[in-house]
Amino acid sequence: MHPMLNIAVRAARAAGKILVKNFDQGSPVEAESKGLNDWVTDMDKAAEQAIINTIKKSYPDHGIIAEESGTQAGKENDFQWVIDPLDGTTNYMRGIPHFCISIALLHKGSVQQAVVYDPMREELFTATRGAGAQLNGRRLRISPKVELKGAILATGFPFKMKNRLPEYLEMFSKLFEHCADVRRAGAAALDLAYVAAARHDAFWEMGLKPWDMLAGELLVREAGGIVSDFQGGHNYIQSGNIAAGAPKALKQMLAQIR
Ligand code: IPD
Ligand code: CA
Ligand code: CA
Ligand code: CA
């Protein structure tokens, strides 16, 4: 394993330990509001701190961009770590055991190493640019699906931007009409990891942030899939509108929503 990926895995496992230990399936966890339907719990913050501490121990000069603490020192460094300490906060708060940690390492703006870790199921998705994607060490391959017909898609709803609901519903109805079924599990990084693992044939969501997408993007690409914005272009990190999947199925999907 690449030494930088190794540190990312160590950091994700440290965060996972905290999240699992404090996970409560019985009663909802307390949370602070960051905006409309947007929450942060003490565990998002504790997990993030554990990740940052682990990275800083090995790479004190690297840049860090983390969801809850923002951009830290090291902005000029060629290496930037982009961290979502708890993807699926709403699930976590409600005792739904579907959430993950997402860590991407960028070099000069391109993702080199990626980890998406589901600590409840102990599923570790990893990728190194040019060296493939793995789940617990087993090589991942994108779904062989070539058309939308019969496809299982995943999505996220625009719950923080209800003004975009009409646009979203139009996409949803076009895609739902042509595919087999759609999942909305509530953790975008895991949705992307599941595309890499061929559990989903494709995924789309609008309004995501870089830390939701960057690790999953490399997983999908290294498994042989395609990642794009809704026009088939490269503008997904800036726009937050992302589509990912098996190449031919994704092409049919984009033809419906563009
Ligand atoms: C959210 C989850 C969710 C997606 C949201 C994200 P968070 O991330 O990935 O599935 O629909 O758009 O913000 O806030 O739980 O890390
Ligand atoms: Ca959040
Ligand atoms: Ca997230
Ligand atoms: Ca988060």
Evaluate whether 226 touches 218 at the Cβ level (below 8 Å): no
Mean pLDDT of 209-233: 98
Please tell me the pTM assigned to this model.
0.97
CATH number of the domain within which 66 lies:
3.30.540.10
Residue 203: what pLDDT? 98
Query: How would residue 174 be classed by pLDDT, with cut points 50, 70 and 90?
Result: very high
Query: How would residue 17 be classed by pLDDT, with cut points 50, 70 and 90?
Result: very high
| C-alpha 24 chain-centroid distance | 23
Strand ranges of the sheet holding 63-66, from the earlier edge strand across to the other edge: 70-71, 63-66, 79-87, 100-107, 110-118, 123-128, 133-135, 138-139
Mean pLDDT of 31-42: 88
Mean pLDDT of 102-121: 98
Residue 70: what pLDDT? 87
CATH number of the domain within which 248 lies:
3.40.190.80
66 CA from centroid of ligand 2 (Å): 11
ipTM, interface predicted TM-score of the complex: 0.98
Residue 74: what pLDDT? 83
Atom of ligand 1 nearest to the CA of 157: 11
186 CA from centroid of ligand 1 (Å): 6
In the predicted structure, residue 167 carries a pLDDT above the cut 90:
yes
**Ligand 1 binding pocket includes 216 (Cβ within 6 Å):** no
Residue nearest to atom 12 of ligand 1 (CA): 208
DSSP letters for 100-165: EEEEEEEETTEEEEEEEEETTTTEEEEEETTS-EEETTEEP------SSTT-EEEE---TT-GGGH
Percent of the chain predicted with pLDDT > 90: 90
173: CB partners within 8 A, 6+ apart: none
Q: What is the mean pLDDT of the chain?
A: 96
Burial of 161 (0-12, 13-18, 19+ CB in 10 A): middle
Nearest-ligand number for the alpha carbon of 157: 1
Mean pLDDT of 240-246: 97
**Ligand 1 binding pocket includes 74 (Cβ within 6 Å):** no
**Ligand 1 binding pocket includes 48 (Cβ within 6 Å):** no
Q: Please list, residue by residue across 218-254, b when 16 or more beta carbons sit within 10 angstroms of its beta carbon and e when fewer do.
A: bbbbbbbbbbbbbeeeeebbeebbbbbbbeebbbbbb
> In terms of domains, do 117 and 209 share one?
no
Of 139, 160, 180, the one marking the end of a domain is 139
Residue 182: what pLDDT? 98
Residues surrounding ion ligand 2 at CB below 5 Å? 89
Q: What single-letter DSSP state applies at residue 236?
A: H
**Ligand 1 binding pocket includes 84 (Cβ within 6 Å):** yes
pLDDT (tens digit per residue) in 59-96: 999 999 999 998 877 889 999 999 999 999 999 999 99
Q: Count structural domains, the chain.
A: 2
Percent of the chain predicted with pLDDT > 70: 100
In the predicted structure, residue 55 carries a pLDDT above the cut 90:
yes
Residue 29: what pLDDT? 78
> In terms of domains, do 42 and 125 share one?
yes
In the predicted structure, residue 26 carries a pLDDT above the cut 80:
no
Write out the binding residues: 67, 84, 86-87, 212
Of 139, 170, 186, the one marking the end of a domain is 139
pLDDT (tens digit per residue) in 225-239: 999 999 999 999 999
**Ligand 1 binding pocket includes 252 (Cβ within 6 Å):** no
Angstrom CA distances, 205 to 74, 156, 170, stand at 30, 5, 13
> In terms of domains, do 102 and 175 share one?
no
Distance between CA atoms of residues 110 and 107, nearest Å: 5
Q: Which domain holds residue 65?
A: 3-139
Q: How many helices (H) and strands (E) does the chain have?
A: 8, 15
> In terms of domains, do 87 and 116 share one?
yes
In the predicted structure, residue 115 carries a pLDDT above the cut 80:
yes
**Ligand 1 binding pocket includes 155 (Cβ within 6 Å):** no
- Tell whether 144 is covered by a domain: no
Burial of 181 (0-12, 13-18, 19+ CB in 10 A): exposed
Distance between CA atoms of residues 104 and 197, nearest Å: 18
In the predicted structure, residue 124 carries a pLDDT above the cut 80:
yes
Mean pLDDT of 231-248: 97
> In terms of domains, do 162 and 128 share one?
no
